[in-house]
Structure 1
Amino acid sequence: MVERVQATPQALSLIAKLTDQYGPLMFHQSGGCCDGNSPMCFAQGDLLITDADVKLGVIGGAPFYMSRAQFEYLEHTQLTIDVAPGRGGMFSLEGSHGVRFLTRSRLYSEGEFDSLPPVESGVQA
């Protein structure tokens, strides 16, 4: 089954370390501005998720969200979360480890796109 968001082994390893350090995590794909277009990692509950967000999936046990407006531009794109040396978003938890999460993407094939389940609302009932 094709996922909307997935993570490399390096990202999964870092997510596990951050979970040990901070407890349950969550991700939000930044839409630009101060932190560029990068996945931001937070302790679960440290970022308010609203119905203006959608949940794309789960990586390393952490839910992954994006604004609904940004999703409209990227819905045909699979996101792969990876890790690279350097500084990421200033509020993202991985910064103290000297690395940053980054998003790699690719377009789905027509068959893959047609088989994807709908995204969930960011606010869960």
Structure 2
Amino acid sequence: MDNVSLKGGAEPDVYKPDTGPRVRVNMSGYLPKGPKNATLVTDETEAVGWKLRKGAEVVATGTSIPRGVDGGSGQNVHVIDFGSFTTPGTGYTLEADGETSRPFDLDGGFYERLRTDALNGAVCR
């Protein structure tokens, strides 16, 4: 059975997946001296301003690069390039178009964790 409802013939609620904030970052982290890009999902067709924050402090600003409609998702997207910011730290967030990303870190240490995790997954028992 599927499409069962206890609402007496009412249409089922439309499913809306939680895809997180419209400012999408690499939540594993970024290398301080490596490339750093995020994706902004927006209806805007012109560049929008962004702010990189560490807590309440704004540590970098810039404007997004409009890329148009993404073929895979069908969403209008912009790229936020904040690669020129190189200060390591934790708890950074990006703000753009009235939205705030999930927190992320600028730290090379996450590669060490990935290696350990991969080795732990490769152990034969």
Fold-level match, TM-score > 0.5? no
Which of the pair is proportionally richer in helix? 1
TM-score, length basis structure 1? 0.29
